[in-house]
Structure 1
Amino acid sequence: MSSEVAVSVSAQPGPAPRNRRQEETFRRVLAAGLEMLRETSYADLTVRAVAARAKVAPATAYTYFSSKNHLIAEVYLDLMQQVEYYTDVNDSTGVRVEKALRSMVLMVADEPEVAAACTTALLSGNDPAVRAVRDRIGAEIHRRIKAAVGPGADPRTPAALEMTFFGALVNAGSGAFTYHQIADRLSYVVGLIVGEGR
């Protein structure tokens, strides 16, 4: 018998499927974007510079990323998709949820340039491409929280945890708290929401 909670995840609409070569090019540009974010500021990053780093034509990069903010949003989504799921039923709901939220918050905690650029890009205007990626990021976060909470939970619990998580990110992104401080504060809030003492 598995010690993992069963997770039902519906597919979130995303971009049209890419063939292998297109996916390799997309990944190369995405990796170059992350490398540049680690080395430079949001203001200095351009799609053209990322294209040069990835050794592709600027027009090719613009095929996949309509703007700098779109590229950065995709970088954040890619990082989020690498965050572990916490579903071990040997852990309490509170422990699973705390691990899930902590890992998502700390994903960019030690990379201030990446964190700042992602915050700026994701909160930027009404760019339809960024909005679509934001929706996919929200779906990724929802899946991880729902998986950590487990089946049969009151549907208000994951909703409250998501609102808490997004509020925590805004606080960290604004500089009110560090990502590490926010991760520590979330432990207390998780206990309140899932009803387990901390």
Structure 2
Amino acid sequence: MSSPVSQESTRRRLTQQQAETVTRLTDAAVDVLNAEGFDGLTVRSVAKIAGVAPATAYTYFSSKSHLVAEVFWRRLSAGVLEPDPGAPRSERVAQVLREVALVVAGEGQLGGAVTVALLGSDPDVEHLRVRIGAFIRRRLAAALEEDPENPGPLLDALEMIYSGGLVYAGMGHMTYEQTSERLVAAAHLLMEK
């Protein structure tokens, strides 16, 4: 059974068959990334691995950045759970930050590709970037018991910390596992104030 995210697309709602095609394309994108890196990734090469006509692939993804951003969005929405309401506030925040940082951990070249892709100017990437940011904000706001539409300074600071940490890791300066623990440590320091 498909999750609601697998039935979505940046461009339209998907039928079951279309959702399966998009899943094959996103899975193939990770395979191509691991073999060729972001520079070697093309929508055409992903389509070939997925067994999909290139024209069909382009109906779903406007660019390789759009495709990589979609991979990240799907993994993020599946991998970052609602914070445990029974846990202390600092542990709820730590849970969210760890899960965000670890979404691409152990995924070869995906993390660096996500960093490059999300910084692009493709309108479909911009749409996903907004969706991703809003999703993470909602998770952090839930952990802090704040209104995501009216964030306080702590939520703003946590957003700046995680986005900087993920860019730093995406540039290869540290692993996503190391980033996860540093994000949690930084959050604890902020929350002690």
TM-score range, shorter chain: 0.7 to 0.9
Residue 158 (structure 1) shift: 1.9
1:169 aligns with 2:170: no
Amino acid aligned to 2:77: Q
Out of 187-196 and 51-60, give the one that drifted further. Answer: 187-196
1:28 aligns with 2:29: no
Mapped to 2, the partners of 1:181 and 1:32 lie a distance apart of 27
2:131 matched residue in structure 1: 136
Q: Select the residue among 101, 107, 122 that pairs with 1:111.
A: 107
Amino acid aligned to 1:62: Y
Residue 91 (structure 1) shift: 1.2
Cα pair 1:108 1:114 within 8 Å, conserved: yes
Mapped to 2, the partners of 1:97 and 1:14 lie a distance apart of 28
Structure having greater relative contact order (Cα 8 Å, sep ≥ 6)? 1
Gaps of 5+ in 2: 1-8
Residue 45 (structure 1) shift: 1.3
Greater gyration radius = 1
Cα pair 1:69 1:122 within 8 Å, conserved: yes
1:61 matched residue in structure 2: 57
1:95 aligns with 2:64: no
Amino acid aligned to 1:186: L
Cα pair 1:42 1:117 within 8 Å, conserved: yes
Q: Write out per-residue CA displacement over residues 86-116 of structure 1, whole angstroms, 9 at most, x where no aligned residue.
A: 4223311101111110111122122231111
Residue 180 (structure 1) shift: 2.2
Out of 136-145 and 65-74, give the one that drifted further. Answer: 136-145
RMSD: 2.2
1:10 matched residue in structure 2: none
2:140 matched residue in structure 1: 145
1:193 aligns with 2:190: yes
Amino acid aligned to 1:46: T
The aligned runs of 1:4-83 (5 Å cut-off) are 14-83=10-79
Number of residues of Structure 1 aligned to a counterpart in Structure 2: 183
Out of 151-160 and 126-135, give the one that drifted further. Answer: 151-160
Mapped to 2, the partners of 1:147 and 1:83 lie a distance apart of 16
Give me the TM-score of the superposition, normalised by structure 1.
0.83
Cα pair 1:14 1:136 within 8 Å, conserved: no
Residue 121 (structure 1) shift: 1.4
Amino acid aligned to 1:43: D
